[in-house]
Chain A
């Protein structure tokens, strides 16, 4: 016979684990699907971290890291290109930054979310630019590489071109992503928001 109100410790852990999994899965799905919305709007960004940042705010850093890494792997599976796997490090950095920003309540207002996004873009580019330069010679077949090529053609040394291209695209991309997550969090109905204790802080 099982008893009544307070759940036993292991049952509480169980509840956290399965729910976290479903939320992480949701974050990964958002990361992978939002690209089609962005493409329809012809915006020059990827926004492929929105799901990770959302999971960081709703659950926490560990779940966000899992979301980011899983997105990286599944992106490779879907596109067939596994050479971008080394950028998984950037996903971890974004997840940790997002969790810290959420903890500090930076996503509660647009005025703090956008600067947080700029900071995130700075940190992300600081990780991705060296990976791009040393492992891939600056060529990652995205819009970023086109910017790199243009800058290089204008005379900048390769390292500078890669860095400038990475920073400019990432600052914009992450600023928009954080603004979007801020909007999403503020639009949660009260009863839904109450289901996420991480938001209460």
Chain B
């Protein structure tokens, strides 16, 4: 399943920035890679990454499920409908460059999804917020990322209740396209207006607790960082830059 899974793997113990840097390097590297060999090497690296997090099983299944529709569409759009030259495999005629392209594109997405699902599984949101606070990240950024996720369930619940209430008042969900478009108003208006009306109170509550204060917030439980992790993050950055440099050099030459 998608989401944090508690554990004791090296990734769990690592500083959140390190885990995210690894996933980010996979993301950027995937877009730099252009040949099937390179892309699938990255998929292998992503699998090793997942194993290091003890999350191989936890992230492999959702990664597969997420990428499956993409693979199907890739197969159809590039494999079946691709350009010449073609080869015949059984009853089907496949495009050779198309299949190669599909392998690259599909591998890219698989590597990225696998990498980030591993990151999601091994970085607890709380630890990331603490890391950002200790790292001096401005309050606004941590607030937006963490606090939005917290208010989402209540908002979804409210949307569901508004749906029920309006249906009780006679709103029909089916019907012509125009009718369904008109139904957008009664369903979204109460949700948005209700949320807007709460804004003042929320701002006051945050202000009263010093959220806007200029003073540097005290981190209560900062995750430990180490020189080797910082070095690793820098090395990853260099590797990514090198990968892109190599890609563009190859494209020109």
Which residues of B have CB within 8 Å of A189? 193
B113 and A180 contact, CB distance less than 8 A? no
Given known A-B contacts A81-B113, A176-B181, A176-B184, A17 and B145 have beta carbons under 8 A apart: no
Contact partner, A85, options B27, B62, B81, Cβ 8 Å: B27
List the A residue with the shortest CB-CB distance to B211: A18
Which residues of A have CB within 8 Å of B159? 33, 36-37
B81 and A141 contact, CB distance less than 8 A? no
Given known A-B contacts A18-B211, A29-B151, A83-B112, A137 and B200 have beta carbons under 8 A apart: no
Let me know if A70 is at the binding interface, CB within 8 A.
yes
State the main secondary structure of chain B at its contact with A.
Answer: helix
- Apart from A32-B148, A33-B155: 10 A-B pairs, beta carbons within 8 A: A14-B212, A25-B148, A33-B159, A40-B173, A41-B173, A70-B148, A80-B62, A82-B116, A83-B108, A86-B31
Contact partner, B206, options A18, A30, A33, A36, Cβ 8 Å: A18
A28 and B144 contact, CB distance less than 8 A? yes
List the B residue with the shortest CB-CB distance to A195: B200
Let me know if A23 is at the binding interface, CB within 8 A.
yes
Which residues of A have CB within 8 Å of B160? 36
List the B residue with the shortest CB-CB distance to A14: B212
List the B residue with the shortest CB-CB distance to A185: B192
List the B residue with the shortest CB-CB distance to A138: B77
| Interface size in chain A (residues, C-beta < 8 A) | 61
Let me know if B137 is at the binding interface, CB within 8 A.
no
Which residues of B have CB within 8 Å of A18? 203, 206-207, 211-212
Stretch in B8-16, B68-76, B219-227, B236-244 touching the partner: B68-76
Binding site for B on A (CB under 8 A): 14, 17-19, 21-26, 28-30, 32-34, 36-38, 40-43, 50, 54, 66, 70, 73-74, 76-83, 85-86, 135-139, 141, 145-146, 148-149, 152-153, 158, 176, 180, 183-184, 187-189, 192, 195
Given known A-B contacts A25-B147, A30-B192, A149 and B31 have beta carbons under 8 A apart: no
Let me know if B2 is at the binding interface, CB within 8 A.
yes
B145 and A70 contact, CB distance less than 8 A? yes
Binding site for A on B (CB under 8 A): 2, 23, 27, 30-31, 62-63, 66, 69-70, 73-74, 76-78, 81, 101-102, 105, 108-109, 112-113, 115-117, 120, 140, 143-145, 147-149, 151-152, 155-156, 159-160, 163, 173-174, 177, 180-181, 183-185, 187-189, 191-193, 195-197, 199-200, 202-203, 206-207, 211-212
